[in-house]
């Protein structure tokens, strides 16, 4: 019987299984952006004693929990959860995309970053997204076969299992739950149903015979609660279970990818797929207050700029500011301007460009930025530019999930197709492909789909990995896992993770309240603060008096987090901004 329970007095005396469901409902239905979220501990996390999975889709979370019940560790659970998300959350979960994973092994203290980011085909060229006039053409980088990167998810998950799995379960056993969900059917969540019914999605997917057959049985999008089977995807997953990653990167599955990409003008070959390698990298490391911060290195910009902003903010008087006060939002926005300006210049694939990670994440550099921040006046973004001379010398549609097992091992993984449902077409193998190559700089100074400006360091090139904002992160305290978090959200991922960390640590909110609090975002260009509903109107007025352009816009991110309490219990929160997620455990 599940030991998860709601931590409020009203729940006492009710059956534990009922309470486990109630806890998930509280997190799913709580109003995002409510003022109470920043003024108190209104929202209630889900609690578990031994292990927990928090993901954006309930059925996938339950798959991960079951793996740990069977003796698997956090890595095993993460692999199974990721494959399940490829079935139950098709807008972002995938085998046709890529992702990043931070793995912490408690016994050894080892923490690694697994890079399964997509790569450009060998025939990629710097001008392949330009039209006849030499201008960037978004249709080429977002909707054509040229937009598709060589998928990395399957290779990354296989690598994680091989090196860091428990050994108690085979790779085939971890893929098997996803096969069952695809073949026997899964319950379509309301979020997935709404996404499939959206006009922009139907326009793209109905134009592809394979995806039309898969997701629009009878010609119409399924409703929430309907049962959907995906037999072609089940066959593909079964082949991966039986043959491992080699079955995906060669043979009929690989040929299906090449055919689908080539039919739409792409340049991918069987050799590109056969040559793909997931990589183990050293995580970005930093410190913030009493915590060690472990996050994703390049080709993600997430970890670098998360640590950079935490360093810049570390000496601010958070207790005086208060959560989501005008002063707090002001200093976060100013710190973000400098980080995103640096992102545009320095960040790219570390296998091709020299990324000054140590310099950007140093306390020395943060002090230089801190000195430039006027606490009363906003600095216009046009006055901020990356300054190579200031660096000390060195010696986007996405989903996230977090896992902790009973031994204290932890996984933070963010995986993506880029846009919702990726490039909008798939393969005869029944899975969608990514349009991740839009994350390259099609032309220096031209924004991508998320408004991010890039430069030569992130130019398109053969076998290069495009820059990302994904920020899977683990915080340690006294050597033990304290917080596991991450989020989807394109350019807004980094600031979402930043605010979850600040809210949970210096503002001392429980993880549910830390997640529900209204969010803000600044990314240097365009020069305005984006805020969610729920920020006090007096706060907005004070920000405007400081010179900020403030715009209330739609919700940002979908953080999936686990916090370890001082007594060792696990507290999980699935962000209500996107319904259907769940924190589950025992």
Domain match, 573 and 520 both? yes
CB 458 within 8 A of CB 466: yes
pLDDT surpasses 70 at 16: no
Domain match, 428 and 339 both? no
CB proximity list for 442: less than 8 A, separation 6 or greater: 129, 130, 136, 137, 138, 140, 141, 448, 460
Residue 37 falls inside a structural domain: no
Confidence label for 106 from pLDDT (cuts 50, 70 and 90):
very high
Q: Residue 286 pairs with which residues in a beta bridge?
A: 293
Confidence label for 510 from pLDDT (cuts 50, 70 and 90):
very high
Domain match, 355 and 328 both? yes
Q: Which is nearest to 346 in space by CA: 388, 390, 288, 397? A: 388
pLDDT surpasses 80 at 4: no
| Domain interval for residue 423 | 59-119+129-280+417-440
Residue owning tokens 């080429």: 140
Domain match, 147 and 192 both? yes
Domain match, 500 and 547 both? yes
> What confidence tens digit (pLDDT) does each residue in 41-68 have?
679 999 999 999 999 999 999 999 999 9
Question: What is the SS3 string spanning 381-417?
Answer: HHHCCCCHHHCCCCCCCEEEEEEECCCCCEEEEEEEC
pLDDT surpasses 90 at 444: no
Average pLDDT over residues 442-456: 66
Q: What is the CATH number of the domain that holds 372?
A: 3.60.20.40
CB 87 within 8 A of CB 432: no
pLDDT surpasses 50 at 436: yes
pLDDT of residue 27: 36
pLDDT of residue 452: 60
- Measured between alpha carbons, how far is residue 144 from residues 46, 204, 437, 547 in Å? 42, 11, 10, 41
Tokens representing 99 are: 């992702």
How far apart CA 267 and CA 392 sit, in angstroms, is 41
User: Considering the chain, what is the average pLDDT of its residues?
Assistant: 91
How far apart CA 285 and CA 246 sit, in angstroms, is 33
Confidence label for 455 from pLDDT (cuts 50, 70 and 90):
confident
pLDDT surpasses 50 at 325: yes
| Burial category of 206 from C-beta neighbours within 10 Å (exposed 0-12, middle 13-18, buried 19 and up) | middle
pLDDT surpasses 70 at 21: no
Known active-site residue 287: no
Residue owning tokens 């924004």: 447
How far apart CA 209 and CA 16 sit, in angstroms, is 46
Residue 410 falls inside a structural domain: no
Domain match, 431 and 481 both? no
Tokens representing 363 are: 């306390």
pLDDT of residue 151: 98
Tokens representing 210 are: 């394979």
Residue 295 falls inside a structural domain: yes
Confidence label for 441 from pLDDT (cuts 50, 70 and 90):
confident
pLDDT of residue 456: 83
Average pLDDT over residues 87-115: 98
| Burial category of 287 from C-beta neighbours within 10 Å (exposed 0-12, middle 13-18, buried 19 and up) | middle
Residue 45 falls inside a structural domain: no
pLDDT surpasses 50 at 82: yes
> What confidence tens digit (pLDDT) does each residue in 372-381 have?
999 999 999 9
Domain match, 366 and 496 both? yes
Residue owning tokens 């928090």: 54
Domain match, 289 and 265 both? no
Residue 1 falls inside a structural domain: no
Range scoring the smallest mean pLDDT among 8-17, 249-258, 502-511, 574-583: 8-17
> What confidence tens digit (pLDDT) does each residue in 532-560 have?
999 999 999 999 999 999 999 999 999 99
pLDDT of residue 375: 96
Confidence label for 323 from pLDDT (cuts 50, 70 and 90):
very high
How far apart CA 63 and CA 81 sit, in angstroms, is 6
pLDDT of residue 77: 99
pLDDT of residue 454: 60
Average pLDDT over residues 445-461: 72
Residue 182 falls inside a structural domain: yes
Domain match, 183 and 167 both? yes
Per annotation, catalytic residue among 88, 153, 398, 515: 398
Confidence label for 443 from pLDDT (cuts 50, 70 and 90):
confident
pLDDT of residue 449: 61
How far apart CA 270 and CA 397 sit, in angstroms, is 26
- How many domains in the chain? 2
| Burial category of 161 from C-beta neighbours within 10 Å (exposed 0-12, middle 13-18, buried 19 and up) | buried
Confidence label for 239 from pLDDT (cuts 50, 70 and 90):
very high
pLDDT of residue 442: 81
Between 3 and 348, name the one with better pLDDT: 348
pLDDT of residue 54: 98
Question: What is the SS3 string spanning 431-474?
Answer: CECCCHHHHCECCCCCCCCCCCCCCHHHECCCCCCCCECCCCEE
CB 45 within 8 A of CB 511: yes
pLDDT of residue 18: 27
pLDDT of residue 35: 38
Domain match, 248 and 295 both? no
CB 46 within 8 A of CB 583: yes
Percent of the chain with pLDDT over 90: 87
pLDDT surpasses 70 at 178: yes
Residue 2 falls inside a structural domain: no
Range scoring the smallest mean pLDDT among 5-14, 291-300, 302-311, 485-494: 5-14
Confidence label for 37 from pLDDT (cuts 50, 70 and 90):
very low
Domain match, 250 and 300 both? no
Tokens representing 198 are: 């959206």
Residue 50 falls inside a structural domain: no
Domain match, 275 and 178 both? yes
């Amino acid at each position: 019987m599940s030991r998860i329970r709601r931590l409020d007095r009203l729940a006492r005396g009710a059956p534990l299984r009922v309470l486990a469901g109630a806890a998930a409902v509280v997190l799913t239905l709580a109003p995002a952006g409510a003022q109470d979220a920043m003024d108190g501990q209104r929202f209630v996390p889900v609690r578990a004693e031994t292990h927990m999975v928090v993901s954006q889709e309930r059925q996938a979370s339950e798959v991960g929990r079951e793996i740990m019940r069977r003796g698997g560790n956090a890595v095993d659970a993460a692999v199974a959860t990721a494959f399940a998300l490829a079935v139950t959350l098709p807008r972002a979960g995938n085998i046709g995309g890529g992702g990043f994973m931070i793995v912490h092994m408690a016994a050894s203290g080892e923490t690694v970053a697994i890079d399964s980011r997509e790569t450009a085909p060998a025939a990629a060229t710097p001008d392949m997204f330009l039209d006849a006039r030499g201008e960037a053409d978004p249709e080429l980088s977002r909707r054509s076969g040229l937009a598709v990167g060589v998928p990395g998810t399957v290779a990354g998950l296989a690598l994680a299992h091989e090196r860091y799995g428990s050994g108690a379960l085979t790779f085939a056993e971890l893929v098997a739950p996803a096969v069952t969900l695809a073949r026997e059917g899964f319950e379509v969540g309301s979020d997935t149903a709404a996404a499939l019914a959206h006009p922009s999605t139907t326009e793209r997917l109905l134009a592809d015979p394979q995806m039309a057959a898969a997701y629009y049985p009878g010609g119409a999008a399924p409703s929430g609660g309907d049962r959907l089977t995906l037999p072609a995807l089940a066959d593909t997953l079964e082949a991966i279970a039986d043959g491992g990653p080699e079955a995906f990167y060669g043979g009929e599955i690989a040929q299906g990818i090449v055919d689908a990409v080539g039919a739409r003008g792409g340049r991918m070959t069987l050799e590109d797929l056969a040559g793909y390698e997931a990589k183990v990298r050293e995580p970005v490391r930093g410190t913030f207050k009493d915590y060690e911060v472990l996050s994703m290195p390049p080709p993600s910009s997430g970890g670098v700029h998360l640590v950079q902003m935490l360093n810049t903010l570390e000496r601010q008087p958070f207790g005086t500011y208060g959560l989501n006060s005008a002063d707090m939002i002001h200093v976060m926005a100013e710190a973000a301007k400098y980080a995103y300006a640096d992102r545009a210049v320095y960040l790219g694939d570390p296998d091709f460009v020299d990324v000054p990670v140590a310099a950007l994440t140093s306390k020395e550099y943060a002090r230089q930025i801190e000195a430039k921040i006027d606490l009363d006046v906003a600095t216009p973004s046009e006055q901020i530019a990356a300054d190579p001379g200031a660096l000390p010398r060195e010696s986007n549609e996405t989903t996230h999930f977090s896992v902790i097992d009973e031994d204290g091992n932890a996984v933070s993984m963010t995986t993506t197709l880029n846009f919702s449902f990726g490039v909008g077409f798939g393969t005869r193998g029944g899975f969608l492909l990514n349009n991740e190559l839009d994350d390259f700089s099609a032309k220096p100074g031209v924004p991508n789909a998320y408004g991010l400006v890039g430069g030569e360091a992130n130019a398109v090139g053969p076998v290069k990995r495009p820059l990302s904002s994904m920020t899977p992160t683990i915080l340690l305290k006294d050597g033990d896992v304290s917080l596991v978090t991450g989020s989807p959200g394109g350019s807004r991922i980094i600031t979402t993770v930043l605010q979850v960390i600040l809210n949970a640590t210096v503002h001392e909110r429980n993880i549910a309240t830390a997640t529900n609090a209204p969010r803000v975002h600044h990314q240097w260009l365009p020069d305005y603060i984006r805020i969610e509903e729920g920020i006090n109107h007096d706060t907005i007025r004070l920000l405007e008096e400081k010179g900020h352009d403030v715009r209330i816009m739609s919700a940002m991110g979908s953080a999936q987090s686990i916090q370890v309490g001082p007594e060792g219990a696990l507290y999980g929160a699935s962000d209500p901004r996107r319904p259907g997620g769940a924190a589950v455990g025992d």
